[in-house]
Amino acid sequence: MTFSVTVLGSNSAIPTLQRNPSAHLLNANERLFLIDCAEGTQLQLRRYKIHFQRIKHIFISHLHGDHFYGLIGFLTSLHLLGRKDDMHLYAHPELQQIIDLQLAASRTTLRYSLIFHPLLSDRKELILEAERLKVFTFPLLHSIPTNGFLFLEQHSSTQRNRQPRSYAYCADTIYTEDIIQYFRGVDLLYHEATFLHNMVDSAHEKFHSTALEAATIAVKAGVKRLLIGHFSARYDELQPLLDEARAVFPDTELAEDGKKIDICLSENNPL
Amino acid sequence: MTFSVTVLGSNSAIPTLQRNPSAHLLNANERLFLIDCAEGTQLQLRRYKIHFQRIKHIFISHLHGDHFYGLIGFLTSLHLLGRKDDMHLYAHPELQQIIDLQLAASRTTLRYSLIFHPLLSDRKELILEAERLKVFTFPLLHSIPTNGFLFLEQHSSTQRNRQPRSYAYCADTIYTEDIIQYFRGVDLLYHEATFLHNMVDSAHEKFHSTALEAATIAVKAGVKRLLIGHFSARYDELQPLLDEARAVFPDTELAEDGKKIDICLSENNPL
């Protein structure tokens, strides 16, 4: 009964040899969900031995390149490798045109159905209810329209004594307490922490957050664990970001490429 | 007086952990030219310690993803890293719209001028005459419009006793002797060799060539050296492709990610 998040990229803005930009993989009871897809994500999936043809749903938080430039290559590779299964893509509307134009330029017709679900709302919204998972989207506050995602496990009637597990993904956002309502009490919150707090002005100017701010959101939302990432390439060493966050919220971990975080079943989960 | 080609990718179709898809870097007297730009090319440039801000001209052979999906990320990274110098891009016309749409979606205005030179002609054409280099484009025969490029060194009056060096890049193409006229006698010919000749039918169906065919073109064009690449991901071991080509044209080398091929000055170059 796996419920785990694998970090496929932890850098902001640009890929480096140490850290790829944003992408996460959620394994919810052996169903795989890809969240953001920076350039190089398909190689990260290979590197961490993830059977990527099993991914059936992709969620793109916003259309800054470090969150989606790897998508067209991933979709095309799935096609070239013989995929037949439908793929569901949740993203802002412009992405459909970007994909269509690139497929047209190469005269490619995908062998599988790519089903596009535009993110249109500026409120919390249920966007997927699969057999054992609900996925909600909610607005963040960034320089372009940006969405977070909440993944909430659903149990069958025989599993009522277990608490459903949950994961919230808060991609690029400036510090705002408005978002706390969307993921109160989750088992694991990913929140961006692009900068140390000594660069808070720079962070705000770019609609980003600091490690201290991410931790403050975690405290105020009463989450169980915090994962910080989307680190500026200026930081070779990430320990100061971790220390800063842990001073406010001890149960913090660094997003590091390849790191897998398991969320265990419990019988007294507060959600 | 460097004149060298660095292979940044040697695989066809999809990136793997062993081989990235197509991209080459030409260093002609310390001027850097990028030819094709598959997903992951910016990381390859970092891996092989190439000062990529010095690239001022990019040539894209055609709009199959394994030749250009890394371009938008590379252009954006240059921007984020503070580039001011003009960048010249030579490619088929649809690429301009693909780039513009992605920059618009992220509300990005590049800090530098991206000067687009559409490849429109179906004949050999001079597309760039920089201080010490002429670049020609010429048509190949593939499933979509595809161009090759010929780089021809120009010497100053004090260098008349030296033969100008030359490099021809033949990206995806079916075997056709029509192209020989465009690069007769070059110092180094890159020609795709996606398959072994026992798969010649499959190669032709996909408008690709075999190692034997690439070598045959090298013989008929009277080139000095041959570089083969764009290998199908089906080949873990490349030695059979090399052996097949060398049986026809002994001065053949394999394109391997990171390999640098120096073309030395000579006084009796037949070009």
Rounded to the nearest angstrom, the minimum Cα separation between A38 and chain B is 9
The domain spanning residue B224 has which CATH number? 3.60.15.10
* B270 assigned to some structural domain: no
Residue A248 has pLDDT above 90, yes or no: yes
Q: Nearest C-alpha of chain B: how many angstroms from A121?
A: 17
Residue A268 included in any domain: no
Task: Give the pLDDT of residue A267.
Answer: 62
Tell me, what's the pLDDT at B157? 82
Does B271 map to a domain? no
pLDDT for the residue numbered B258: 98
User: How close is the nearest chain B Cα to the Cα of A264, in Å?
Assistant: 32
Cβ contact A46–B70 (<8 Å): no
Interface test with B, best of A37, A43, A66 (most B CBs within 10 A): A43
pLDDT at residue B155, rounded to an integer? 82
Task: Tell whether A43 lies on the interface with B, counting CB pairs under 8 A.
Answer: yes
pLDDT for residue B268: 54
Which of A23, A39, A44, A113 minimizes the C-alpha distance to A72? A39
Q: What is the pLDDT of residues A170-185, one digit of tens each?
A: 999 999 999 999 999 9
Domains contained in chain A, number:
1
Residue A13 has pLDDT above 60, yes or no: yes
What pLDDT does residue B271 have? 47
B36: annotated active-site residue: no
pLDDT of residue A24: 98
Residue A75 has pLDDT above 90, yes or no: yes
Calculate the alpha carbon distances from B171 to A146, B45, B179 in Å.
Answer: 39, 20, 12
pLDDT, tens only, A99-149: 999 999 999 999 999 999 999 988 999 999 987 899 999 999 999 999 999
Question: Cβ separation of A105 and B63 shorter than 8 Å?
Answer: yes
Q: Could you say which of B66, B172, B187, B257 is catalytic?
A: B66
Task: Indicate the residue of B15, B92, B101 with minimum beta-carbon distance to A101.
Answer: B101
Q: Which residue in the set B69, B97, B143 is minimally distant from A101, CB to CB?
A: B97
Nearest CB to A46 within list B16, B106, B107: B16
Q: Alpha-carbon distance A52 to B256, whole Å?
A: 26
| Domain membership flag for residue B116 | yes
By C-alpha distance, which of A233, A226, A224, A229 is closest to A257? A229
Structure tokens at B161: 């006793």
Give every CB contact of residue B234 below 8 A, 6+ residues apart in sequence: none
What is the rounded average pLDDT of the residues A9-36?
96
Query: What pLDDT shows up at residue B267?
Result: 61
Residue B183 DSSP class: S
**CA proximity to A233, closest of A6, A5, A17:** A17
Domain range spanning residue B10?
A: 3-262
Which of the four pLDDT bands, split at 50, 70 and 90, describes residue A271? Answer: very low
A-contacting residues in B 110-169 (Cβ below 8 Å) = 143-144
Model pLDDT for residues A257-268, shown as the tens digit of each residue: 999 999 998 765
ipTM: 0.95
pLDDT value of residue A87: 98
Mean pLDDT of chain A: 95
Question: pLDDT tens, position by position, for chain B (271 residues)?
Answer: 899 999 999 999 999 999 999 999 999 999 999 999 999 999 999 999 999 999 999 999 999 999 999 999 999 999 999 999 999 999 999 999 999 999 999 999 999 999 999 999 889 999 999 878 999 999 999 999 999 999 999 987 877 778 899 999 999 999 999 999 999 999 999 999 999 999 999 999 999 999 999 999 999 999 999 999 999 999 999 999 999 999 999 999 999 999 999 999 876 544 4
Asked if residue B178 is part of any domain, the answer here is yes
Please check whether residue A15 touches B, CB under 8 A.
yes
Residue A65 to chain B, least CA–CA distance (Å): 7
Does the beta-carbon distance from A102 to B14 stay under 8 Å? no
B267, part of any domain: no
**Distance between CA atoms of residues A195 and A210, nearest Å:** 5
